[in-house]
Amino acid sequence: MVSSGDTSESTYVVEISQHLASISLSLGEEDLVGVEENRDKLKQWLAGDDYSERSVVALHGMGGLGKTALAATVYRKEREKFECHAWISISQRYSAKHVLKCLITEFYKE
């Protein structure tokens, strides 16, 4: 859980964002309606001809369209097909250093 304690406001906002991003993974596929075509496309893009290929796919669009929910659903189902996988959430304001730290942390979780 997130606590305000003695942390700065920006640190607190980052903590809340990360907490909310982790919650988004808890949506079940049955909670998503009308995403089958996009879900299948995303799986194809990730798979290519071979799941051993390294892939990065960016989803973009207006807020509230369900990009995170769609990505979380596909990630949950497909991640074990990859030797290495990570779930991170990148906001509009980010630093490359922070993104790399998050990736490394995710890679070494398991």
Local confidence band at 86 (pLDDT 50, 70, 90 cut-offs): confident
Amino acid found at 37: E
pTM of the model: 0.60
Tokens describing residue 7:
């942390």
Q: DSSP letter at 79? A: G
Domain definitions of the chain by residue range: 9-107
Q: What is the CA radius of gyration of the chain?
A: 15
Comparing CA positions, the residue from 21, 27, 38, 42 lying closest to residue 90 is 21
pLDDT at residue 97, rounded to an integer: 92
Q: Does residue 3 have a pLDDT over 70?
A: no
Separation of alpha carbons 5 and 103, rounded Å:
26
Mean pLDDT is lowest, of 4-13, 35-44, 52-61, 65-74, for 4-13
Mean pLDDT of the chain: 76
Amino acid found at 68: T
Q: Does residue 36 have a pLDDT over 50?
A: yes
